[in-house]
Structure 1
């Protein structure tokens, strides 16, 4: 029998996992944005807004669950922190889609797709990890892998910005840089999720 670190009800962990899944869905919408025409941007930006709205609803549902449950699968402050960080990640992804629509950028660097690949992998790993917080199964591996992906994202961001500087005039550079910054911030928020998971492992080991 596996030792269960938190042998309580797992509604909070399921809500966290669903929030991470919304991030995965958001990456799918952002991928569609990258391949869309400017005429399709507004529709896709609205689709992204819906992913963010669902994530926010799940965040508030988690807060309600914490207030009404006698026993939670993690300390309330840990559940709140993880939920807040996941919600902030999808808010920034939503912001990236909205900026592309507002700026009507018809062509983005292939670096955008590279960052989305990282975000997608981070979100998939996080969705699985949120369901495993009641034990210690593979969570150390999750933590390490998210940090590795975050470092990759930082390198991609630096290369992207350097390329933008050489390819665009100041106004266009600023607009493309806004997108690059939004996407790397998503990877940073997911890294914060993993770092907090690491702190939970240290506290509970």
Structure 2
């Protein structure tokens, strides 16, 4: 680790941690949506919209903080990239939730729950990592594990699409494929966050 010669303001890391926490909460809401009847979807989607709105608020708060703070704990470009990817991940979760309601899907295939399990685990690991960004030596395992989960998510997506092509008619396939694409894109954003952390580790070592 490089020696830090100046004190850093912790507010930026706190904001990143809060952003990551919103993904954990959003994943839990998505799990509720998958297990709820269609009559409950619109209420739960409103909860998801609230998570997305809070994420956007935190993202813009971080941008303001970086413009006005003298010394940040990490380079501004790294903090911005982390914040952007965190915010984009929750936007895609929000989109997936809204599509479930718009398409009036009462039940999704088991692969959706499998994919959400991966997202939830990535979110938990990322929330923990964002709290520990001031001690990068401890984060290599996080980086590796999220990349492993992302590869698993890609395989799950491929199998899910193949199953849908085999079992569904074209309109049903199109609706479910939209949701599958949103969920796998969330895992890609989480991978992007872990890769950014890996880049920071390499630069700061």
Give the TM-score band, short-chain normalised: over 0.9
Tell me the equivalent position of 2:154.
Answer: 154
State the 1:204 CA deviation. 1.1
Give the CA RMSD over aligned residues: 1.2
Residue 43, structure 1, aligned to residue 43, structure 2 = yes
Question: 1:14-163, aligned counterparts within 5 Å?
Answer: 14-163=14-163
CA distance in 2, matches of 1:18, 1:67: 19
Deviation at 1:4, TM superposition (A): 7.5
Give the Cα–Cα distance (whole angstroms) in 2 for the partners of residues 123 and 8 of structure 1. 26
| Residues 104 and 5 (structure 1), Cα distance of their counterparts in 2 relative to 1, 3 Å cut | farther
Contact 2:22 2:55 in 1 (8 A): yes
Q: Give the match's secondary structure for 2:178.
A: helix
Query: How far apart, CA to CA, are the structure 1 residues paired with 2:66 and 2:102?
Result: 38
| Displacement after TM superposition at 1:9 (Å) | 2.0
Looking at structure 2, the residues matched to 20 and 190 of structure 1 have their Cα atoms a distance apart, in angstroms, of: 10
Structure 1 runs not aligned, ≥5 long: none
Once the 2 structures are TM-superposed, how far is the Cα of residue 10 of structure 1 from its aligned partner?
1.6
Per the normalisation by structure 2, the TM-score is: 0.96
SS, match of residue 166 in structure 1: helix
After TM superposition, give the deviation of residue 134 of structure 1 in Å: 1.3
**Are the aligned partners of 2:38 and 2:104 in contact in 1 as well (CA < 8 Å)?**
yes
Q: With structure 1 as the length reference, what TM-score do the two structures score?
A: 0.96
8 Å CA contact retained: 1:29, 1:48: yes
Determine the structure 2 residue equivalent to 1:188.
188
By how many angstroms is 1:11 displaced? Answer: 1.1
- Tell me by how many angstroms 1:5 deviates: 5.9
- The alignment covers a number of residue pairs equal to 203
